[in-house]
Structure formats: structure tokens, C-alpha cells
Homo-oligomer: A and B are copies of this chain.
Amino acid sequence: MDDKIAFVKEIPCILVEKKGNKITEKNDFIITEERIAIYLNDIKIISVMSIPCDQDAYAVGFLMSEGVIEDIKDIQNIVIANDGLSVYIQANINTENLKNLYHEKTLTSGCCVGVTGNFDGKIIEKFIDSSFEISINRIWKLIEDFENSNLLFSITGCVHQASLILEDESKIFSQDVGRHNAIDKVVGKARLNQKDISKSILLVSGRLSMEMVIKAAMHNIAIVISRAASTYLGIKTAQMLGITLVGFARDNKLNIYTHPSRIILENS
């Protein structure tokens, strides 16, 4: 059995179908999430509801997305507890950005409390002027692969995914119940493996709100593609930060909202 199936539980339920008022007792496949605690330099800084896999990648991705850890080399040690429910990181940190994490509770349309604080402080000065380009034909192929890669979603209907396509065409993939977590996990995996992601493409399954775009900007990712919608602040932020934002990438169509010049539209 694939180890990912370990995060799925079979739960009895009653399936009711309107046609013929059919009633069937069956088992449904349900995703399991756990509360995972992140400790930074011996202090518990946050907990997250997450599928308990890639916990170290999540912690690193989240803390780097928030600017608390600025360079992977600043991490001295990472340990995942045996029960998988805690991650302990020792690192040199940006204490100012750690304070921002607690600056104000902002319930975003999804999650990610601290991001908006950091956005107000620092990232707003950023502009990604990468000349990185990709052809539309390559994008169609990436979207097709992405759609076919989420086993856990196909089983449970309850999982977001994120994929980074690196310059050497290798791919890093992650999944989680939360769309934010999936992104933090995938960038964390890349960072832990010392990958340069400044010339990568981020594909996600979830809605592109402002905080998702900011996460991409924090990792200098110039192209972000989602199968879902973008919000107005998501688009505005991408425009401002120099990110090429693509939404509704599904059914062999897509919308390019910002900085379209990185996508070569002519067939080649």
C-alpha cells in the first residue's frame, strides 16, 4: 500500500441517492489531519492542522514564507518528534519578522495569520523582475500532469496540492488539507533540498488570495498558476510584486491576469 494511504481512514456512512430513494451503508475514505506544533529555538510558536507528512518541510516553508528564517543555511537542526505531532527547529532567525507573526490577528479568507503583518512591513518593497519564460505548450503539459497526480484528492475529495517545477524540469510535489499548507510544504521541501526555486513555476489547486501570492513572492517565484479563481487582492498583489498570475487553469483553458510576457503564447 502506498504510504500516502496511511493518511486516509475508512469511515462507515449512509449513502442516500435521490433516484429511487436508494439507501446504502458503505465505507467512505476520509482524510485525517492532526494538530502539529512548531517549536523554534525551544519556544512553541504555532500549531497547524495538517496532514501529518512532510512536517519538517512545512515548518521550514512556513517560517521562510513569513521571513522568520531568511536562509536555509540559518537552520542548525530540525527534528520531527516520534509521534509526528511536533517539529523542533534550531535556527538563527529574524526576530523582527517573528514579532510580525504575532503583530495582529488577521483572519484571511483562508488562513495564515502573520503574513499580512509581514506584508505591511517588508515585502511590499519587492518586485520580481525575473526574465524567466515558459511556453504555453509546456504549461498545458504541466497542468495535465498536475491534474493526474493527486491520488489523495481522488480518494478523499478533500486535499489541496502544490507543485514546483524547477528549471531542470524536475518536480517537487506536496499535498495538504489546507491550500496554504500545501504551498509551505512544497517550498519547504525545495529549500531543504537546497534547490534554487527562483526559476520555478508554482502550480496550486487552491484559490489565489493575497497571502498565496505573497508566499510566492517571499520565495522569488515569478510564475504562479492555479486551477481555481483569484481574488482581487491576489491579482493586485501579483501586479505590484511582479508575479505572473494565472487562474482557472483547467479544461484546456486559462486566464493570465498579470505580467503575461513570461508566457510565450506562440506555438513553437
Contact = CB atoms under 8 A, between A and B. Distances in A.
Given A110-B110, A230-B158, A253 B17 contact: yes
A176 to B, nearest CB: 7
A265 B21 CA distance: 8
Contacts of A248: 157
A113 B45 CA distance: 13
Q: How many monomers of this protein are in the complex?
A: 2
A166 to B, nearest CB: 23
- Determine which residue in A15, A112, A140, A231 has the highest number of CB atoms from chain B within 10 A of its CB, and name it: A231
Contacts of A50: 109
Contact of A108 (B18, B111, B228, B235): B111
A227 to B, nearest CB: 11
A66 B111 CA distance: 16
Nearest to A267: B21
Contact of A109 (B49, B109, B231): B49
A215 B114 CA distance: 23
Given A16-B136, A21-B136, A46-B104, 12 more contacts: A16-B255, A16-B265, A21-B265, A21-B266, A30-B229, A49-B108, A107-B178, A109-B111, A109-B181, A113-B113, A177-B207, A177-B231
Interface of A: 9, 11, 13-19, 21, 23, 28, 30-33, 35, 44-50, 101-102, 104-114, 116, 136, 140, 156-158, 176-178, 180-181, 207, 209-210, 228-233, 235, 247-248, 252-257, 260, 263, 265-267
26 contacts: A11-B235, A13-B255, A13-B256, A14-B255, A14-B256, A15-B254, A21-B136, A21-B265, A31-B231, A31-B232, A33-B109, A45-B105, A47-B107, A48-B107, A48-B108, A49-B107, A49-B233, A107-B111, A107-B178, A109-B181, A110-B110, A110-B111, A110-B178, A157-B229, A158-B228, A177-B209
